[in-house]
Amino acid sequence: MTKITDNMRKYSSKVVDGVESAPARAMLRAVGFTDDDFNKPQIGIASTWANVTPCNMHINKLAEEAGKGADAAGGKSVIFNTITISDGIANGTEGMKYSLVSREVIADSIETVVGCEGFDGLVAVGGCDKNMPGCLIGMARLNRPAIFVYGGTIKPGANHTDIVSVFEAVGQHAKKEMDLIQLKQVEDTAIPGPGSCGGMYTANTMASAIEALGMSLPGSSAQEASSADKSADCFRAGQQVLELLARDIKPSDIMTRKAFENAIRVIIALGGSTNGVLHLLAMAHAVNVELTLNDFIEIGKTTPVLADLRPSGQYMMSELVAIGGIQPLMKRLLNAGLLHGDTLTVTGKTLAENLSQVSDYPAGQDIIRPFDNPIKKDSHLVILDGNLSPTGAVAKITGKEGLRFEGTARVYHSEEEALTGILNGEVIAGDVVVIRYEGPKGGPGMREMLSPTSAIIGKGLGKDVALITDGRFSGGSHGFVVGHITPEAFDGGTIALVEDGDMIIIDAETRTLSLGVSDDILTDRRKRWKQPEPRYTRGVLAKYAKLVSSASEGAVTDK
């Protein structure tokens, strides 16, 4: 048990101490507080439990374990909930517009509850794409001792399938390579139970980034959701937050510029999601660390892709878990001089100290490549500029698709229109599918284009068709895809001026996204362009559209 001192009750003492706080104590007695509990540091346990998605369906039990750990270490845990949504369920629908918005709602709700209730420390347990950055943004704003726990990865489905297998099966059915019975078999067996999507998609990308950042206990990012290791991870996190309180170690001490550089290195080495760019920019903003798209360019020049993981590779996260997770990879990166070993972590030790006793991967494994045989010698997260994306765009190019694509534009004003065009054969080899008015403001909400990209792959057009958008992509998307194009169409970015048949060039080597139209023609088109009316005028989507910043700045709402 951690030795408890008065300075560990910096916030809760203002809520429960003194005669004038009798009403507050009376309320807390009704939820289980005893006289002794009022003298303990209060630890908020932010649970993202919900039965709306397998990613989070088990997190209530994990939150309880974190609470038990905090109580065992001498604190008083209080579990509260924040929301979750499911990208995998909402993808391809109007509902997906709420996905990125939920990151801000989660951050706001955690900040609101912890700030109001006077919790001294915080453990947050998240298990889906927006839970994780949302939790970290909330922690950064509060700047109280805090630890994040990943809810864990899902087990593979039958025949090595996962959620992306189902999306791609839809495209295979459209191509008449799969009948309805086969499609139903994939649908029925791809998701076997609790946990986040099983490849190096956004959930596992962000869990890995947060561990590399130092805000999770070592190993937290690489555990199966239903494992004993995950339950133990939660208990230890509850205990450790008391140690952070005792030593007054706060997120701002851990989430430094060097720590963000470590996180970028790790997600590149793992072949992680483009959403990692968006979320790390937002998390850095929340903790007042300057981070820009240019940092991803510079770090990417010297960081190889080493992990052969889905969606572009063959292995799943559960298979990486089985050989040791990301800790041996981080030790390799550290030994190669690619990580800052002196960054502080939630263990109270430095990253180098945490990794000092880590063993290398077992001989014969081929999930993590050696440095002399990488998947790609530099980053797959390619930041593009050019006349189509003058303030930046993000491509996910592993090299398997090639490094350059030149084709003619086929323009759609929504994801639904594009999906219909792909499935009915309107999109053909040599096309660059342009999906616009799906940016943070224009969507609003910057939907993921998993349905269109999966349909392209499923129809066998992955190497013959490119897709660009001012929206974003699921971590499950692969192929020649470019998202986060800024300025977005709603703000009059060049993407708003593209017409069917225009030549578009995507070049990963020169890092350019070019529209083959003269400046004079673009000037004439701009004179005729009119900004569309907002799609929503009331409610959370309308508020988000008014507040949100550019994707190149992390799409934050408090800039």
Q: Annotated binding residue at 130?
A: yes
Residue 402 predicted with pLDDT over 90: no
| pLDDT tens, position by position, 345-398 | 999 999 999 999 999 999 999 999 999 999 999 999 999 999 999 999 999 888
What is the pLDDT at residue 431?
98
Structure confidence at residue 190 as a pLDDT band (50, 70, 90): very high
What is the pLDDT at residue 478?
81
Q: Average pLDDT for residues 223-252, to the nearest whole number? A: 98
Q: Annotated binding residue at 116?
A: no
Tell me yes or no: is domain 6-155+193-355 CATH 3.40.50.2300. Answer: yes
Shared fold status for 6-155+193-355 and 381-553:
no
What is the pLDDT at residue 399?
79
259 φ/ψ sector (left φ>0, alpha ψ -120 to 50, else beta): alpha
Structure confidence at residue 418 as a pLDDT band (50, 70, 90): very high
What is the pLDDT at residue 508?
93
- Which of 29-33, 137-141, 145-149, 173-177 is least confident? 173-177
Structure confidence at residue 401 as a pLDDT band (50, 70, 90): confident
| pLDDT tens, position by position, 70-115 | 999 999 999 999 999 999 899 989 999 999 999 999 999 999 999 9
What is the pLDDT at residue 546?
97
Residue 400 predicted with pLDDT over 80: no
What CATH topology corresponds to 381-553? Glucose Oxidase; domain 1 (3.50.30)
| pLDDT tens, position by position, 320-348 | 999 999 999 999 999 999 999 999 999 99
What tokens does 502 get? 């225009």
Question: Which residue in the list 474, 477, 514, 552 is annotated as catalytic?
Answer: 474
| pLDDT tens, position by position, 475-511 | 888 888 999 999 999 999 999 999 999 999 999 999 9
- β-strand pairing of 431-435 with 404-412: parallel
What is the pLDDT at residue 558?
97
Domain ranges of the chain: 6-155+193-355, 156-192, 381-553
Structure confidence at residue 312 as a pLDDT band (50, 70, 90): confident
- Please give the mean pLDDT across all residues of the chain: 96
What is the pLDDT at residue 470?
98
User: Tokens 């297998």 — which residue?
Assistant: 165
3-state secondary structure of 387: coil
Q: Average pLDDT for residues 128-138, to the nearest whole number? A: 96
380 vs 397: CA distance, rounded Å: 5
- Which of 1-5, 159-163, 236-240, 272-276 is least confident? 1-5
Q: For 147-213, what is the HEC assignment?
A: EEEECCECCCECCCECHHHHHHHHHHHHCCCCCHHHHHHHHHHCCCCCCECCCCCHHHHHHHHHHHH
Q: Annotated binding residue at 129?
A: yes
Q: Annotated binding residue at 448?
A: yes
User: Would the pTM of this model clear 0.95, i.e. be above it?
Assistant: yes
Q: Are 91 and 442 in contact (CB under 8 A)?
A: no
What tokens does 512 get? 């350019």
What is the pLDDT at residue 31?
97
For residue 203, the Cα-to-chain-centroid distance in whole angstroms is 5
Q: Please report, rounded to a whole number, the percentage of residues in the chain having pLDDT higher than 90.
A: 94
Q: Annotated binding residue at 234?
A: no
Q: How many other C-beta atoms lie within 10 A of the C-beta of residue 378?
A: 17
What is the pLDDT at residue 398?
84
Q: Please report, rounded to a whole number, the percentage of residues in the chain having pLDDT higher than 70.
A: 100
Q: Average pLDDT for residues 1-10, to the nearest whole number? A: 93
217 vs 231: CA distance, rounded Å: 13
Note if 13 is an active site residue. Answer: no
378 vs 356: CA distance, rounded Å: 26
What is the pLDDT at residue 174?
86
Residue 33 predicted with pLDDT over 80: yes
24 vs 91: CA distance, rounded Å: 43
